[in-house]
Amino acid sequence: MLKIQNLTKRYGDKVAVEGLSLEIGKGEIYAFIGHNGAGKTTAIKACCGILPFEEGEILIDGHSIQEEPLVCKKSLAYIPDNPDLYEFMSGVAYLNFIADIFGVSASLREEKIKALSEKFGLTADLAQPISAYSHGMKQKLAIIAAFLHEPKLIIMDEPFVGLDPKASHTMKEMMREFTQKGGAIFFSTHVLEVAERLCDRVAIIKKGKLLVSGTMEEVKGNTSLEEVFLELAEN
Amino acid sequence: MLKTLIKARLSAFWAGLGFDKKTGKKRSVGKLVLFGFLYVYLIAVFLGLFLGAFFLLGTLTLQTEMAWLYFAAAGLLAVLLAVVGTVFGTVTQLYEAKDNDLLLSMPIPPKYILLSRLLTLLLGNVAFEAVVLLPAFVMYFVVGLPFGAISPWGILSLLAGMLVLPFVSLTFSCLFGWLVAQLLRRVRRKSLVQTVFSLALLGLYFYFYGKMMTGADSLENISLILHPLANAVKTYFYPFYLFGLGCAGNVGAGLLSLLFAAIPAFLVFWILAKSFINIATAKTALKKTAYREKTMKRSSPRRALVKNNLSHLFHSSGYLLNSAIGLFMLLVGAVALLVGKDAFLSSFLSMDGMEGAEEITAFLTADALAALLTAMVCFLASMVMITAPSISIEAKTIWILRSSPLTGRDVLLSKVYASELLSVPVLLIVSVAVIVVAAPVWYVALGVLLLPQLFALFGALFGMIVGVAFPRFNWNNETEAVKQGMAVFLAMFGMMGISVAAIGIGFILSILLGAGAALLLLSLLFLGLSLLLLWIMLSVSARKFEKIQV
């Protein structure tokens, strides 16, 4: 579903990501781990077509994000690390806007908005302006918007930040359901316990370079993911 | 500690001017020179406006027993301009400051926080008032010297006024700011309140400015016009009357006016000092709008984008007021033109007794009048800059557009459409008003209808291109994105320059070929230029938008 081949991204002289290669298959939840400033967000933004890159290739469902950005973007959803949404809109207006952009039919969006906002306990606040939302509420709205247009791939940057325990639990359930239906999820996180329990595969990145990747068992072996990460980060 | 707080506030201001907030690097010399030049130009325009006004007012009053009116007018205009210019700054820096919580959590006495904010606001008031008081001071010498109307007391009083008046305007700013902050905390449509309030203040300012300067263009009717104005100042703005009397030599009145300034200022600042913590941390819970499920409708992506752009504009008073002020002025102008049609025509077409009146009346045929008014419409239309800041204001939310299945063309076209959706009907109304008032022949009327529309389209495309070329994403407050930055400056001064050049070309063409041909040829020119800009926008700018990195 997502294939990153030898991705290199530079900001001037600084190399943010160097020669990164990963492959995420259908039905997989893939965790992307690294310390602050390791290049996770850069790589994620490049996968979503937000950041152009100098070298390498990113394929989404077989299509190049550089050559066919619209085809790729139609099948993916992105949730950023900070849910900066249109503060001048109400929650429901934002969801309608996203549904319009992705061509979601009226009936499907009604059904989806109702179901998803109820799951996250956001229904009562949908008429409120987003400017009145807390960080967690914005995060929930960004998640609902991501699932609204039924993407094949969801790319998320720290999706659990700001979520209350119930919403966090709901999110994990939704991620599992989504991948069971054939979708793929690629997300970055600092919550290693969540990654360990939720993900099928994991990649650890340091200073823009991939240190290790593979199935959770391959990467952590008999130890915990936290121990592996700390050991790799220190060395 | 107070010094540190003041330094922090001032450095934040200077950082915005001389440093790039994102990189922390100094702006290039070229950029600084360009910004400096543009600021100087803007200040020079205002100074020129007030120099002219005070020259005329001084000529009319300084050598008469109404010399006090000169000083009272200067004081009143200075205070009004400063209040209009700083009231929203007072709201954001004093009552709704984002760092109130952070600073209050530190071991800093609240009075220091308040004082540092008041001092920086005071500097803003001084700057605004200088724009009025400096010309008043200069013209006091220029006009007063030949008549021997200068007195040391007058000079001293004006200087004292320069020191005291900023405190008066700051007092009013704090009071109005508090009212606005209370109102904003209780309403949902904050931007609507801000827009209405700003327009009301601006209207009030221009009303007083107009009233005060009405006498200046009619030397023969001094007593008829100035006396009611003087009475109005005495009745409604008594402290300013005292201030005027004081500057004109009445020591007692001058001291009394100081009391009028000092007592409210002391009271307001004392109340602020006593209740700053409550003010800074006050939150008013708004009643939640209940969500009711409605049947949803599907729109095309392009329609959704246009709707989104318009929604952003109408929910942001800063964006609306700074970018669409030309549309407000055009609407007001159209109504004034229709309502005051007869008075307008008589003032333009009958200039008996004026030097060169015959030549002017002969030149001002219905067609020429229509062309002249169209030139004014185009000039006002150059102040419509909805597209220029439209990329900068996306900033943190640009990921939504960039991660969606949209091309750069879709996004840019939607922003131009949104701008056109607003300007087309407004310009149509103004053009119809011009046609009704001037009653030109049909082909001139066609030019009156076409030229403003094509000029506005050109302006929207020009704004969009510079908006993509020079986006500014490192802002803290949306108003910064709308007011500052290279794109806005280029769009504003570029379009003003182009409108002046077009008016010049039109003037020459109308002398050579007639008003109708001039309007139609200019329409053709702007049609061609708009097509060229459209091509640039859809190719170069669209590609650049798709590669913008935030």
pLDDT digits (tens, 9 = 90+) for A186-214: 999 888 888 888 898 999 888 888 888 88
Sign of CA dihedral B493, B496, B500, B502: positive
Q: Which domain-ending residue is among B247, B280, B313?
A: B280
Q: Is the ipTM above a cut-off of 0.95?
A: no
pTM, entire model: 0.77
Cβ <8 Å between A52 and B547? yes
Mean pLDDT of B50-77: 83
Q: Are residues B240 and B373 in the same domain?
A: no
B421-426 LR contacts (CB < 8 Å, sep 24+)? B421/B306, B421/B310, B422/B310, B422/B313, B422/B324, B422/B327, B422/B384, B422/B386, B423/B327, B423/B381, B423/B384, B423/B386, B423/B453, B423/B456, B423/B460, B424/B453, B424/B456, B426/B327, B426/B330, B426/B331, B426/B334
Q: What confidence score (pLDDT) does residue A47 get? A: 93
pLDDT above 90 for A177: yes
Is B469 part of a structural domain of the chain? yes
Give the residue from B184, B400, B482 with the most A CB atoms within 10 Å of its CB, the best one to mutate: B400
Identify whether residues B248 and B112 lie together within a single domain: yes
Kindly state the tokens that stand for A65: 């994000």
Residue B478 near residue B320 (C-beta atoms within 8 A): no
Q: Are B395 and B475 in contact (CB under 8 A)?
A: yes
Which two three-digit tokens encode residue B120? 């920086």
What does the block give as tokens for B262? 């000092």
Asked if B275 and B305 sit in the same domain, the reply is no
Domain contains B142: yes
Whether B293 is covered by a domain: the verdict is no
Q: Do A88 and B404 touch (CB under 8 A)?
A: no
Burial B422-459 (b: 16+ CB within 10 A, else e): bbeebbebbbebbbebbebeeebbbbbbbbbbbbbbbb
Residues B254 and B350 in one domain: no
* Cβ neighbour number for residue A57 with a 10 Å cutoff: 15
Q: Which two tokens stand for residue B225?
A: 């016009």
CA–CA dist B523, B319 (Å, integer): 29
Using a CB–CB cutoff of 8 Å, tell me whether B476 touches chain A. no
Question: Angle at Cα B51 formed by Cα B50 and Cα B57, nearest 5°?
Answer: 85
At B331-382, the pLDDT tens digits run 888 888 888 777 666 665 555 555 555 555 555 677 888 888 899 899 889 8
Residues B478 and B353 in one domain: yes
Single-letter amino acid code for the residue at A93? A
Three-class DSSP category at A62: coil
Residue B550 lies in a domain: no
Contact yes or no for A63/A69 (Cβ under 8 A): no
Counting one residue from A and one from B, how many pairs have CB atoms under 8 Å apart?
Answer: 104
Each residue's pLDDT tens digit, B5-43: 777 777 766 655 555 554 555 666 776 777 777 777 777
Cα–Cα distances in angstroms (integers) from residue B479 to residues A160, B223, B372, B489, in the given order: 32, 44, 34, 14
Which residues does chain A have within 8 Å of residue B407's beta carbon, measured at their own beta carbons? 70
Residue B50 lies in a domain: yes
The CB density around residue A21, as the number of other CB atoms within 10 Å, is 14
pLDDT (mean) for B89-108: 80
- How far apart CA B271 and CA B258 sit, in angstroms, is 20
Q: Note whether A100 contacts B300, CB cutoff 8 Å.
A: yes
Can you give the pLDDT at residue B223? 55
pLDDT of residue B40: 78
User: Please, are residues B394 and B305 in contact by the beta-carbon 8 Å criterion?
Assistant: no
Nearest to B196 by CA among B321, B33, B56, B368: B321
Residue B356 lies in a domain: yes
Residues in chain B closer than 8 A to A97 (CB atoms): 304, 307-308
- DSSP alpha helix (H) spans, B62-189: 67-90, 100-104, 110-147, 152-186
Written as six digits, the tokens of B339 are 């309502």
B250 plus B357 within the same structural domain: no
Residue B70: which pLDDT band, with cuts at 50, 70 and 90? Answer: confident
Which residue do the tokens 């006090």 mark? B68
Q: Which residue of B has its CA nearest to A54?
A: B547
Amino acid sitting at position A99: A
Distance CA(A174)–CA(A189), nearest Å, equals 17
B328, pLDDT greater than 60: yes
Q: Cα distance from B417 to chain A (closest Cα, Å)?
A: 17
* The pLDDT of residue B138 is above 70: yes
Structure tokens at B215: 């006498």
Locate the chain A residue with the closest alpha carbon to B543. A52
Same domain as B389, residue B271: no
Question: Are residue B246 and residue B325 in the same domain, yes or no?
Answer: no
**Beta-carbon count within 10 A of B10 CB:** 14
Number of domains in chain B: 2
The answer to whether residues B483 and B410 belong to one domain is yes
On whether residue B325 sits in a domain, the answer given is yes
Q: State the average pLDDT over residues A85-109.
A: 93
Q: Do A88 and B188 touch (CB under 8 A)?
A: no
CA distance B550 to B536: 23
Residue B418, pLDDT > 90, answer yes
Q: What is the pLDDT of residues B198-256, one digit of tens each?
A: 777 777 766 766 665 554 454 555 556 677 778 888 888 888 998 888 888 888 888 88
Sheet holding A76-79, edge to edge: A76-79, A153-157, A184-188, A29-34, A201-206, A209-215
Q: Which residues of B are less than 8 Å from A83 in CB distance? A: none
- Under 8 Å CB-to-CB from B187, ≥6 apart: which residues? B193
pLDDT of amino acid B220: 52
Please indicate, yes or no, if residue B199 is contained in any of the structural domains: yes
Quick one: pLDDT at residue A75? 93
What is the residue range of B166's domain?
28-204+225-280
pLDDT digits (tens, 9 = 90+) for A13-65: 889 999 999 999 999 999 999 888 889 999 999 999 999 898 999 999 999 99
Question: Which sign does the torsion angle of CA B123, B128, B129, B130 carry?
Answer: positive
Contacts of A129 (CB under 8 A, 6+ apart): A87, A88, A89, A90, B188
Tell me the CA distances in angstroms from B215 to B55, B229, B232, B351, one per residue in order.
12, 9, 14, 17
| Span B423-443, average pLDDT | 92
When scoring B313, B399, B409 by the number of chain A Cβ atoms within 10 A, the one with the most, hence best to mutate, is: B399
Q: How far is A191 from chain B (nearest CA, A)?
A: 24
Percent of chain B with pLDDT over 90: 25
Token output for B9: 């506030």
Please name the residue of chain B whose CA is at the shortest distance from the CA of residue A145: B400
pLDDT category at B301 given cuts 50, 70, 90 is very high
User: Are residues B310 and B255 both part of a single domain?
Assistant: no
Mean pLDDT of A110-118: 94
Do residues B468 and B402 both lie within one domain? yes
Mean pLDDT, rounded, of chain B: 83
| Of B104-118, B447-461, B478-492, highest mean pLDDT | B447-461
**Structure confidence by residue, pLDDT tens digits, B282-293:** 766 667 778 888
Q: Write down the pLDDT at residue B344.
A: 67
Q: Do A70 and B407 touch (CB under 8 A)?
A: yes
The answer on B452 and B420 residing in a single domain is yes
